[in-house]
Structure 1
Amino acid sequence: MKYLVLLVLLFSAALGRAQPASQTVRGTVLDADSKSPLPGATVLIVGAPLGDGIATDQHGHFRFARVPLGRISLKLLCLGYQERLVANVVVNAGQEVVLELSLQELATQLNEVVVSAAPDRRNAQNEMVLLSARSISVEETKRYAGGVNDPALILSSFAGVTNSAAGSNEVIVRGNSPKYVQWRLEGTEMTNPNHFADQNAVGGGVSALNNNLLATSDFYTGAFAPEYGDVLSGVYDVKLRKGNNERFQSILGVGLMGTDVTVEGPLAKGYEGSYLANYRYSTIGLLSNLGLVELEGAAPTFQDGAFKVFLPAKRLGTFSLFGLGGRSGIRLDNINPGTWQLPTNETTDATIRRDYAKASYLLNAGLSHTLPLHPNGYLNTTVSFSGNGIEEDMFESDVHKRYDDRGTWLRDSLSNKQVNYQSRLDNRSYRAATTYNHKLNAKNRIQVGTKYAYLHFAYRQGLAKNGVSLVDFDEGMGTLRNFVSWKHRLNDRVTVVAGVHNMNVLYNRKSTLEPRLALNWFPTERSTVSAGYGLHSTMESVHNYFAKVKQAYGSYTEPNQDLDLLKAHHFVAGYEYQLTRNLRVKLEGYYQHLYNLPVENLPTSSYATLNEGVIPRYVALVNQGTGRNYGAELTLERHFDRNYYFLLNTSLYQSTYQALDGRQRHTAYADNYLVNLLAGKEFSGLGRKDNQTLSLNAKVFLGGGKRYVPLLRGANGQVAVDPARQQFWDAAKAYDQQLDDIYQVVVSASYKWNKRQTTHELFLNIDNVTNNRSRLSEYYDADKPNATGYQQQFGLFPNLMYRIYL
């Protein structure tokens, strides 16, 4: 309660202050390739008098001391460099704006080509990435409806990306399994950053990432640059911003999803080092702990935190400590597959009650060091740890129905409660990586890197009721990855990135050599043509390597320890045209040929691990499966300008695979089409002092129905399962069918007002406003019509949040 009183006092004090007229905007300008500071670059505020421009100092720093509140655009100029326009920088009363910007050196003499300033085209921050990529700004994560200030959820707003529609944070990219997405934090691999995730790292309902700490991050969907390995699907490279190194700042937030605090500031007066930290606790869990609410039947709780400490050391370069961690738990009583995806066979039985408890943790921490070796070269070294663990218990009780003398049901009584399923999983990874970056000249840049990881796994999982052990191992694996990448700019219109990636699994001596090639061509000032190819590989989920498989004579073996790497050829081609200064259209097509896929070693089986979801299946596997993903993505986007924006994208795609049964099938992720329409309008200058802003945003999503494995049915279409023999599913018809198409409408509103040295924001997001409940999959339930129950789309869900920026 004392924290609530403190928050009210802060709120009341802030309302009593007068509105400031301005805020500080400052930052650093760097060379895009060498990351060296650019002294003498000119920074202009668009619309301000020409003489108001500022030149960067010897360290590349610039500062505007009194900038009006609202939105501004910055224009960057430097002799021998391409001009750049940085649009929609938000200036609030409560927080200084601290930017890190870069300029690309011209590859040709100034009199050979005229390059005018244009707004950022959402290109990747990584200059070695030329296609199938998008940068995601912090402002977008706050503005887009459906993102709920969640940096993971926002990905499903982009072309080629969708999720399960069941309320989880799965990231399904171009028909690939979400377990093949690679999450990165500050350039190094991290765990799935979602609370309540499963052992395949495909689920999770709440992200531990918090956009109060984020910088602009990159998301890649195919034909990855040479530095990215051990990934088939997509890469989300999350960056943390530096804290303010001149003054203390904080953000307090209270919302239905969580209550959090963010603090940042200088480490010492006159020192450029800084700290940034955030902590959040689930609001419902906090209220429960304080005794203000009592939860029965479902009690989800979570907490998470993240930090970054920036430590410049002059001649020794710069050091950076960073981390992200969280814990979560949930208890579900009288559960059925329609309310939660069970980790065991998805069926129901009226004579059995199931209760479920789950606890999990995630932890990522690292130390990064950047050492300038000379003006055009630097060495980046990172050591990191990542870990996550899951504890699951499924309890079963016999249900006895009690009736009176007339046969009227009175109540159910329970007996013989026991653990039916138990899982204890722990993953720990220790990584070290070093990359040398060298800018040879304006046309050429090279990268050479090596990455070593030691992965340790401790798994115990089994059906306690039957005494069946599914996995039981405590093992370590080492991987070594190497890459070389060369960026060559033929001129200011044509850029090529070529290289090779080498992946080695030291445990079973599997390795690959993966060529990569990408091309960007600007035939005109408004158009871009891109093309690329890459061979990619990844390891399968570790539990498949050590699965215990029962043999015909009753003993158990582990036949999968020699599994090879999954591999895929990625081909991408695209065209982008800038219709106006703020309006662009982009068309991108792709083809992915997957091979070496693990499939069940049985000629009649349709099972492949790429369809594996929450429920693991432990069988003997061989690398003889193949697959194809292909499609086209069209995007029409108007960047935020004159107080409005919109984003329309559509994707048509197919995803198929073939197991040992020889039949070409749809994968579990072959939804076939998706459409996103996002739009928003901002009304600024409201209130008597023109210090208030209202933002309205909406999202409409349309998508194909989810693929599923149907129940066994007879010739008459009626369910014909055999519970006694545990025969429920018709594997011969796996993923042939789809249920309902999916649609969802999301609306959000933000009301912001500036006071003296503080900014207040009230935010409301409502997911699935129409409460559409499309069917996603089916399960056996004898008490339902035709003994069929359905898992459904996540329903209407509001999220209200209040934040104060100090």
Structure 2
Amino acid sequence: MKLFFTLTLTLFIFSGLYAQNGIVRGRVYNAQTNASIEGAKVQLIEQAKGAITTVDGTFELSGLKPGVYSFKAVSIGYKELFINEITVTNARAVDLDFAMEELISNQKEVVVKASPFVRKSESPNSLKTLNATEIERLPGANRDVSRVIAALPGVASRATFRNDIIIRGGSPGENKFYLDGIEVPNINHFATQGSSGGPVGLLNVNFIREVDFYSGAFPANRANGLSSVLAFKQKDGNKDGLITNFSLGSSDAGFTFDGPLGKKADFIFSARKSYLQFLFMALKLPILPSYNDSQFKVNYKVNEKNKVTIIGLGALDNFSLNTDVNKSLTDSNDIEYNNFIINNLPIQKQWNYTMGVNWIHFSKHSYQNIVASRNMLNNSAYRYKDLIETPANLLQDYRSFEAENKFRFEHTYTKNGWKVNAGFAYEYARYFSSTYNKITIQGSPVTIDFKSNLFLSKMAAFGQVSKALFNDKLNASLGLRTDFSNYSKSMMNPLDQLSPSLALSYRITDQIALNASVARYHQLPSYTILGYRNPQGTLINQQNEVKYIQADHFVIGSEFLTKMNSRFTLEGFYKKYNRYPFSIKDSLCLANVGSDFGVIGNEEVKSISQGRSYGMEFLFQQKLFKGYYAVLAYTFVNSEFQDKNGKYVPTAWDSKHIISLTGGKRFKNGWELGMRWLFSGGSPYTPYDVETSTMIQNWNINGQGILDYSLLNTQRESSFHQLNVRVDKKWYLEKFTLNFYLDIQNAYGYKAKLAPIMLVETDSNGTPIVDPANPGHYKAKFIENSNGLVQPTLGIIVEFANKKKSSVSK
């Protein structure tokens, strides 16, 4: 402790004595052809300082004081391009490339003003872009990308510890993720198979350069999702020398290396190990999760016409039970809750990886992408009655893996305001499942026992045409996509899965725009659904002619840009769902599930459910301006699906009102303060069927209450709100950068009331008590279920550098 305070005091005293050695350099080039742009001006917005690019399009700015800056590139014949909030340090040079879009012929001799907010012709609305600085600083997110997304409009937050991404009333399984153009099935640890959520983020924030978040108007080449597409772009490795980054947080420790690989290549690599299980043990929690992950990227610039990117991402997760949790506990409610968790959650092991390569070839007016990748998920779980591991006590034994091999080709052509993107994709997948599970169906005990092997081919073709009209006043984009599979005859016809889209944006003035989009999307049901077999070994869902899920999106909105790096947006949306899987066992639509551990969809279904989600969003976003930044997001959403009687009822994602207010201030000498206040309406839930649950044979198998789906989502949890606070202090020294931060989630400790937990009365030995008034049944009891833990995180990030000196004099 004495050493810590001595180091901190030394850093405070000497942190201001170092020179201004920050360097920003990079290249300005044509986004369509990769040709270097000579004579472009790169300007530092906060200072009257800039640089002119050389014949090879390169530039360098040196002698910069460490801090956060924004930049813009200007060149005759090209659209202005902003890059916002780039962190500059003494320890490493910042590589900043500007990919500029060429103007149409009648605008060649002018400079067209651009906005600091990203806009794309194919996605004029429902697109939000976050940079690395915005991701790292969000209070309460603790450097977790999934939690950062929750601060944007249209995204719901729930009073749980999970990272489920719930977009505009859709389920967590309706999202797609891309990393440098390569699809990644999941971005969370402890993934829910058949969905996309999990409690801990998998992606390394240090790798992320920016993320494009589409809640509608998806590009045709990024479809096969129903609610959102998240496209992550990673940083390149340092070209000067090896950079080492070490981070220590509340739940894990990790390191990152990045640097050059010869003259034409660079890399980044990270590894992380959690110690969350020790924290949970100290907090007397009944579960002991642990995780490890690794991530890398290699960037190889063959020449000006060819670039190759290779990525890798992997995770190893273990979920065990703290069977000694009740030792030294005296609170009977805590003991009962812990016993409930221990007796009902399985022990789980899971690992997954994604590896892929993206080759880009540039031509005169076009470029081509060739993308190949492989990803795999291995999942296993088992559970024994009373934790006694004998064959007679086995309740669940599940083993499964999913493996996908993917190929995608894209050709993008741009000239005179036209942009055409077209391509095709092919996937070969294998799914295996070995399932043993004792459950109850409609009040009767049933044993599910089957093995399944499934080999599947999936194909897609897509095209999109965009055009700027009327002197760039109107932008129009028309897309078409089809997905089909050899799973069944009902999926093999490409005409049955046609996905057309139309997006329009009309710029009334330089500051005001009206936007609209309409589109249809299709998504293949999860492998757990496709590979499920009945007791006779039949792929029953294939026999039931399960179909691609369909969603129609209608969005209209407006945008107002100010002259102070801020904007206001207002959007209304309507989503219509069709052919959603309907559970035969539980008589409910699977759109209502996916927010818990385990497996979703491993059962018989039919593609008969319909649903709808509609509402509006408001956003005020202030980019960093004179040291301040802010985001105010409000969402109203009404999410409904038909129940077994065809009546529309609220889904589990129907939060109604969601408010997120984030703001912060950057002070001198490396200090920064940020706060986020969040409010969300309560989520609907289904009450228990007490009579069926307490039947002795049912309780002995399930160990928990059985939900009464005739009362689907008729109850609602309480609304919740919380305040998150983050304080950062950074020291920018000559050879390294040091960042201490304190991140507090739920600072004032608000306790949200969740759905109650049903138990049965037990005697002093823990044996269930039979209800004398209802023979054949145990005696039921309920305990409160709430979440309101104050979660402080004290973290440290250290970055060491081996930086070459600048080649340009100051």
TM-score tier, shorter chain, comes to: 0.7 to 0.9
1:735 equivalent in alignment to 2:713:
yes
Supply the AA of the counterpart residue of 1:494.
Answer: L
Q: 1:773 to 1:462 in 2, by over 3 A?
A: farther
2:565 aligned to which of 565, 582, 592: 582
1:386 equivalent in alignment to 2:379:
no
Contact 1:229 1:481 in 2 (8 A): no
d(CA) in 2 for partners of 1:161 and 1:351? 29
Supply the AA of the counterpart residue of 2:314.
Answer: G
Note the alpha carbon deviations across 1:127-174, whole angstroms, 9 max, x for none.
Answer: 643221111111011111122111121111000102432101100000
Q: How many equivalent pairs are there?
A: 749
Contact 1:638 1:645 in 2 (8 A): yes
Partner of 1:708: 685
Note the alpha carbon deviations across 1:630-686, whole angstroms, 9 max, x for none.
Answer: 1100111211111111111111111111144221111111111100011111111xx
d(CA) in 1 for partners of 2:693 and 2:269? 56
Write the mapping of 1:15-54 to structure 2, written as runs, cut at 5 A.
19-46=18-45, 48-49=47-48, 52-54=49-51
Contact 1:123 1:135 in 2 (8 A): no
Contact 1:397 1:417 in 2 (8 A): no
Contact 1:398 1:417 in 2 (8 A): no
1:697 aligned to which of 674, 688, 711: 674
Q: 1:11 to 1:479 in 2, by over 3 A?
A: farther
Partner of 1:224: 218
Contact 1:255 1:801 in 2 (8 A): yes
Q: 1:123 to 1:721 in 2, by over 3 A?
A: farther
1:642 equivalent in alignment to 2:626:
yes
Partner of 1:444: 418
Note the alpha carbon deviations across 1:101-125, whole angstroms, 9 max, x for none.
Answer: 233333363499874354x11446x
Partner of 2:755: 777
Q: 1:318 to 1:624 in 2, by over 3 A?
A: same
1:179 aligned to which of 173, 178, 191: 173
Q: 1:556 to 1:472 in 2, by over 3 A?
A: closer
SS across alignment from 1:458: strand
Q: 1:682 to 1:282 in 2, by over 3 A?
A: same
Identify unmatched segments of 5+ residues in structure 2: 326-335, 440-444, 700-704, 763-778, 801-810
TM-score under structure 2 length normalisation: 0.86
Partner of 1:503: 483
SS across alignment from 2:454: strand
SS across alignment from 1:140: helix
SS across alignment from 2:383: strand
Contact 2:450 2:537 in 1 (8 A): no
SS across alignment from 2:90: coil
Partner of 2:742: 764
**Shift, 1:622, TM fit:** 2.0
Partner of 1:342: none
d(CA) in 1 for partners of 2:258 and 2:235? 11
2:306 aligned to which of 317, 338, 341: 317
Considering only aligned residues, what root-mean-square deviation do their CA atoms show, in Å? 3.3
2:507 aligned to which of 519, 522, 533: 522
SS across alignment from 2:547: coil
Partner of 1:121: 117
Q: 1:89 to 1:620 in 2, by over 3 A?
A: closer
**Shift, 1:306, TM fit:** 0.8
Write the mapping of 1:486-501 to structure 2, written as runs, cut at 5 A.
486-490=465-469, 491-501=471-481
Q: 1:39 to 1:417 in 2, by over 3 A?
A: farther
Q: 1:583 to 1:495 in 2, by over 3 A?
A: same
Partner of 2:357: 367
Contact 1:471 1:543 in 2 (8 A): no
d(CA) in 2 for partners of 1:352 and 1:86? 50
Partner of 2:770: none
Write the mapping of 1:304-703 to structure 2, written as runs, cut at 5 A.
304-314=293-303, 317-333=306-322, 353=343, 356-372=346-362, 374-397=363-386, 418-439=393-414, 441-463=415-437, 468-469=447-448, 471-490=450-469, 491-509=471-489, 510=491, 511=494, 512-549=497-534, 557-561=538-542, 562-600=545-583, 606-613=587-594, 614=596, 616=600, 619-684=603-668, 692-703=669-680
Note the alpha carbon deviations across 1:490-545, whole angstroms, 9 max, x for none.
Answer: 12221111120111112214131111111111110111111011110001122122
Contact 1:69 1:93 in 2 (8 A): yes
Supply the AA of the counterpart residue of 2:482.
Answer: N
d(CA) in 2 for partners of 1:19 and 1:739? 54
Note the alpha carbon deviations across 1:251-309, whole angstroms, 9 max, x for none.
Answer: 111222211111111112xx131111111111456999xxx999995432211111111
d(CA) in 1 for partners of 2:403 and 2:158? 27
d(CA) in 2 for partners of 1:9 and 1:618? 55
**Shift, 1:356, TM fit:** 3.6
d(CA) in 1 for partners of 2:265 and 2:123? 30
SS across alignment from 1:749: strand
**Shift, 1:9, TM fit:** 10
SS across alignment from 2:97: strand
d(CA) in 2 for partners of 1:195 and 1:586? 33
d(CA) in 2 for partners of 1:335 and 1:703? 36
**Shift, 1:721, TM fit:** 4.7
**Shift, 1:805, TM fit:** 1.6
Contact 1:22 1:93 in 2 (8 A): yes
Partner of 2:775: none
Supply the AA of the counterpart residue of 1:652.
Answer: F
Note the alpha carbon deviations across 1:665-723, whole angstroms, 9 max, x for none.
Answer: 11111111100011111111xxxxxxx31111111111111111111369xxxx98545
**Shift, 1:250, TM fit:** 1.9
**Shift, 1:228, TM fit:** 2.1
Partner of 2:127: 133
Supply the AA of the counterpart residue of 2:638.
Answer: Q
Q: 1:458 to 1:791 in 2, by over 3 A?
A: farther
Contact 1:349 1:781 in 2 (8 A): no
d(CA) in 2 for partners of 1:772 and 1:101? 45
Note the alpha carbon deviations across 1:31-87, whole angstroms, 9 max, x for none.
Answer: 3444443232111223544xx532223332221132222232323110012223433
d(CA) in 2 for partners of 1:676 and 1:695? 20
Identity of aligned residues (%): 22
d(CA) in 2 for partners of 1:347 and 1:15? 51
SS across alignment from 2:150: helix
d(CA) in 1 for partners of 2:234 and 2:369? 16
Supply the AA of the counterpart residue of 1:651.
Answer: T
**Shift, 1:612, TM fit:** 2.4
d(CA) in 1 for partners of 2:359 and 2:708? 54
**Shift, 1:619, TM fit:** 4.7
Contact 2:242 2:257 in 1 (8 A): yes
1:259 aligned to which of 253, 263, 277: 253
Note the alpha carbon deviations across 1:295-354, whole angstroms, 9 max, x for none.
Answer: 995432211111111112127711111111111112123599xxxxxxxxx999989945
d(CA) in 2 for partners of 1:534 and 1:205? 31
Q: 1:285 to 1:741 in 2, by over 3 A?
A: closer
1:67 equivalent in alignment to 2:64:
yes
Q: 1:13 to 1:222 in 2, by over 3 A?
A: closer
d(CA) in 1 for partners of 2:574 and 2:284? 49
d(CA) in 1 for partners of 2:636 and 2:285? 44
d(CA) in 1 for partners of 2:465 and 2:436? 49
1:299 aligned to which of 271, 276, 288: 288
d(CA) in 1 for partners of 2:345 and 2:475? 58
